[in-house]
Structure 1
Amino acid sequence: MKKWLFGILAVLMIAVLAACTEEDDASEEETEEDAAVAVETAEVREGDLVVDRSASGRTSPSQSAPVMLQAPGEVDTLEVSEGEQVEEDDVIAKIATQAGIQNIRAPRDGEVMNLAVQEGDMATAEEPLAIIADMNEMTVEFTVTAEVRDLLTEGDVLDAVIEGETYEAEVVTVRAMPDDTGLYPVEATIPNEDDRLVPGMIAELTIPETVAEGALIIPTQALVEEDGSTFVYLVEENSAVKTKITPVETQTEETAVEGEIEPGDQVVTTGQSNLSDEDTVEVVEGE
């Protein structure tokens, strides 16, 4: 009788253990099936792929005129100081010459620059007494290759960064002939409305170049290279869809591509190294 009871208990225990094992196995399978790979995505866009060329130059007054003497003499009186604003025909200095006192006048409106003498100095007729410069607008002169020159047209407005500030620079001259270095001189003007610009400042100009027009654009980091082919992963209904594409033009940040993708599609940009086709994914935001 006891053996019979023990037998029944043993059978029941084995059945219970088997059921628990099946439940654990099912639970593990369910967990594995439900596990989703965390990814970040970006939207495929349609447009032009533009890259930025750069050039640099130094600022100078857009217009200036030298103050010249008709005859040498001693500076009797200086009527202005360096950096002072004057108007055309204002007296700059009085010079004592053999013919008497000569009034030296400003040839134009502007700011007194490069004032070369003090009272009592001898001034010559060969060198300018000073320069009168228009500081309301600055000129930036720079040189470019023939390839970049073809991107520029008079009237173009470029971004120019000077000491961390961005200004609008209008191209006013694009030379047809190169200089002695084989580069093409270009001039642009920048309004100096706040008087923050002075001659000699370095200006970094940005020259945009369209390298692909009306293309499908994706982040370059979305590309996956495999066996000589290029793929991306699209996210469709929380699944990763491995999609073959052809890069047309690749830049550091963005790439123009062709393939079975459309504007508005979500392409995986982070986490694709952990993906296979048809994996379940969870889209998360980047840091």
Structure 2
Amino acid sequence: MKKMLFGLAAILFIGLLAACTEEENAEEEQERIVPVETAEVETGDLVLEKTLYGRTAPKTTTPVMLQTPGEVDTLEARNGAQVEEDDLIASISTAAGNQNIRAPKDGQILNIQAAEDEMATNEEPFAIIADMDQMKVQLTVTANVRSLLAVDDTFTVLIDDNEYQATITEVGAMPDDTGLYPVEATVENEESAILSGTIAEMNVPETTIEEAIIVPTSAIIQEDDLSFVYLVNEGKAQKVEVTIEETQSEKSAIEGEVKAGDQIVITGQLTLSDGDQVDTARGE
């Protein structure tokens, strides 16, 4: 009899414990509030940036020619040296006598073809004088990108992790052998900081969609080939299916039951369910 009473008491205790646990869980679920961060939905044009790659070169170059081939007696300048007009570059012994080679203009010496005691020909430039005060960025682009460029347009260009302003000076009308169009831009080269042959990255903006619903790309959730966002209405999360029209790293253009001014969840949405209560903080 005692065993039976003890068993009944144990069953009753377990039942009461389970009921309390279920009640506590129900209260926890009812009181669950998810902290999220929101941003305001905007309307406007979605502008994508195309990154073009090219190389730098001196804006202008002047060849230094020999009248007669000969042997280099003395070399007064080295590659990379700055010279002024009429500075002596080299002295050459030729069959017709000694020949002094002087700089035809101010600039930087490049591509000296012979060292001292070596023979120099008059069939190609003995050296090049380059004007390094301005550098040109040489690019090749597709026909679609070419339509975004015009002479005198200015774009930001990145060279050796430094930003410069580049002005378009030439846009080719005919493609080259690769089917691409040559483009040149000019960059001011203060203190000769830009070296010839350096890779340059130019960012060209392109408006792809006008008057679109713009949201942070981070707000979009992908589920089973569908796209969703969470809006906040009266303190609760509302799950809304959307269609992505165009996307970039930071912003995307979408279609759906979303309008300008709506508060969209940008942080914490991965833990949300439709109808959850939320504690919102405004994003930057």
Normalised TM-score (structure 2): 0.81
State the alpha-carbon separation in 2 of the partners of residues 133 and 228 from structure 1: 57
Whether the 8 Å contact between 2:108 and 2:129 is mirrored in structure 1 is: yes
- The range that moved more, 154-163 or 61-70, is 154-163
State whether structure 2 residue 133 is matched by structure 1 residue 139. Answer: no
Partner SS, residue 194 of structure 1: helix
Equivalent position of 1:165 in the other structure: 162
In 2, Cα distance between the equivalents of 1:110 and 1:240? 66
Instruction: Give the counterpart letter for 1:193 in structure 2.
Output: E
Equivalent AA in structure 2 for residue 140 of structure 1 = V
Q: 1:83 to 1:27 in 2, by over 3 A?
A: closer
Cα separation, partners in 2 of 1:251 and 1:74, compared to 1, 3 Å: closer
Say if 1:132 and 1:30 are closer, same or farther in 2 by CA, change over 3 A. same
How far is the alpha carbon of 1:110 from its aligned partner? 0.2
1:219 Cα deviation from its structure 2 partner: 1.8
C-alpha separation in 2, matches of 1:228 and 1:123:
69
Answering whether residue 196 of structure 2 is matched by residue 205 of structure 1, we say no
- What's the counterpart of residue 82 of structure 1? 79
Q: Distance in 2 between matches of 1:109 and 1:156?
A: 29
- Residue 116 of structure 2 corresponds to residue 119 of structure 1: yes
Q: Match for 2:46: what amino acid?
A: L
1:193 CA displacement: 0.9
Which residues of structure 2 form unaligned runs of 5+? 1-15
Post-superposition offset of 1:168: 2.3
Contact 2:90–2:100 under 8 Å retained in 1: yes
Superposed CA deviations along residues 81-108 of structure 1, whole A, max 9, x for unmatched, are 2222112232322323333332322122
SS at match of 1:247: strand
**Paired residue for 1:10?**
none
Assess if the C-alpha contact under 8 Å between 2:39 and 2:282 holds in 1. Answer: no
Is 2:75 the counterpart of 1:63?
no
Partners of 2:197 and 2:225 in 1: CA distance: 51
2:150 matched residue in structure 1: 153
Match of 1:174 in 2: 171
- Cα displacement string for residues 155-209 of structure 1 (whole angstroms, at most 9, x for unaligned residues): 2222222233332222211101100011111111222213222112111222221
Alignment check: 8 A CA contact 2:33 2:278 kept: yes
User: Could you say if the C-alpha distance between residues 112 and 226 of structure 1 is closer, same or farther in structure 2, counting changes exceeding 3 Å?
Assistant: closer
| Secondary structure in 1 matching 2:123 | coil
**Could you tell which deviates more after superposition, 135-144 or 154-163?**
154-163
1:147 match: secondary structure: helix
Q: In 2, Cα distance between the equivalents of 1:22 and 1:122? A: 103
DSSP-derived class of the 1:215 partner? strand
Separation in structure 2 between the aligned mates of residue 81 and residue 125 of structure 1, nearest angstrom: 19
Compared with structure 1, are the counterparts of its residues 226 and 24 closer, same or farther at alpha carbon in structure 2 (3 Å cutoff)?
A: closer
1:92 to 70, 84, 89: 89
Q: Partner letter of residue 108 of structure 1?
A: K
Residue 74 of structure 2 contacts residue 92 of structure 2 at CA under 8 Å; is this kept in 1? yes
> Which deviates further from its counterpart, 89-98 or 125-134?
89-98
- Paired residues, number: 268
Matched with 2:6 is none
Deviation at 1:213, TM superposition (A): 2.3
Q: Distance in 2 between matches of 1:79 and 1:23?
A: 97
Mean Cα deviation higher: 221-230 or 111-120: 221-230
Q: Structure 1, unaligned stretches of length 5 or more? A: 1-17
For residues 126 and 23 of structure 1, the distance between their equivalents in structure 2, rounded to whole angstroms, comes to 100
Q: CA deviation at 1:252?
A: 4.3
Computing the radius of gyration from Cα coordinates, the structure with the larger value is 1
Name the SS for the 1:107 alignment partner.
coil
Query: CA 1:194–1:222 in 2, change beyond 3 Å: closer, same or farther?
Result: same
Aligned match of 2:191: 194
Please report the RMSD computed on the Cα atoms of aligned residues, expressed in angstroms. 3.0
Return the match for 1:234 from 218, 231, 235.
231
What is the deviation of 1:228?
A: 8.1
Query: What amino acid maps onto 2:277 in structure 1?
Result: T
Q: In structure 2, how many angstroms separate the alpha carbons of the residues matched to 1:265 and 1:188?
A: 43
CA distance in 1, matches of 2:170, 2:218: 39
